[in-house]
């Protein structure tokens, strides 16, 4: 108790500690917005993957059951439905309310898959925040592709 620190003892001054804490806070302030943007992109990519998976599922069901399937997208209701040839709903899926869907092809918001895998072709733009993807369905093969815009 009562001992004095030696002259020249090693340690950090208060000023050095404050400068270090300031630099750490500054770095976190610069990194945090970038993390927010990347999570938005990840969410958008996940929603696009789910949308594309539903289209692929409809194509596979048309091929395996040898009956046509139609995918109907309802952007206002945030819903996607897969219908059989006799218009029975086979699958209904709710889409995220933050996802905006726009039809880019003249076929509109419905895609029909034939039993041999072909489709009428279609294209959609899916947007979440500032992230936008184009989902296209090839008219000959029925293949579904995603591309970031």
Q: Which tens digit of pLDDT belongs to each residue from 59-89?
A: 999 999 999 999 999 999 999 999 998 889 9
Determine the structural domain holding residue 139 and report its residue range. Answer: 14-148
Residue 7 lies inside a defined structural domain of this protein: no
Task: Quote the pTM value.
Answer: 0.75
The pLDDT score that the predictor gives to residue 147 is 94
Residue 2 lies inside a defined structural domain of this protein: no
123 Cβ contact list (under 8 Å, min separation 6): 103, 104, 105, 134, 135, 136, 137
Residue 8 lies inside a defined structural domain of this protein: no
- CATH number for the domain spanning 105: value is 3.55.40.10
Distance CA 146, CA 52 (A): 8
Residue 125 lies inside a defined structural domain of this protein: yes
pLDDT confidence band for 137 (50 / 70 / 90) = very high
Residue 9 lies inside a defined structural domain of this protein: no
The pLDDT score that the predictor gives to residue 8 is 64
Q: Which tens digit of pLDDT belongs to each residue from 43-61?
A: 889 999 999 999 999 999 9
Closest CA to 58 of 103, 99, 113, 102: 113
Q: How far is CA 109 from CA 71, 74, 112, 125, 128, in A?
A: 8, 7, 10, 11, 18
Residue 5 lies inside a defined structural domain of this protein: no
Domain count, the chain: 1
């Amino acid at each position: 108790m009562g001992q004095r620190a030696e002259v020249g003892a090693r340690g950090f001054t208060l000023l050095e500690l404050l400068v270090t804490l300031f630099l750490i806070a500054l770095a976190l302030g610069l990194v945090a917005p970038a993390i927010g943007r990347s999570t938005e992109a990840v969410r958008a990519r996940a929603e696009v993957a789910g949308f594309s998976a539903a289209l692929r599922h409809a194509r596979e069901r048309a091929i395996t059951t040898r009956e046509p399937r139609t995918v109907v997208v309802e952007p206002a209701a945030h819903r996607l439905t897969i219908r059989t040839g006799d218009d029975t709903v086979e699958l209904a899926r709710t889409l995220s309310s933050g996802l905006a869907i726009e039809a880019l092809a003249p076929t509109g918001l419905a895609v029909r898959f034939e039993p041999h895998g072909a489709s009428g072709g279609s294209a959609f733009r899916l947007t979440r925040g500032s992230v936008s993807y184009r989902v296209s369905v090839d008219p000959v093969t029925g293949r579904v592709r995603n591309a970031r815009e």
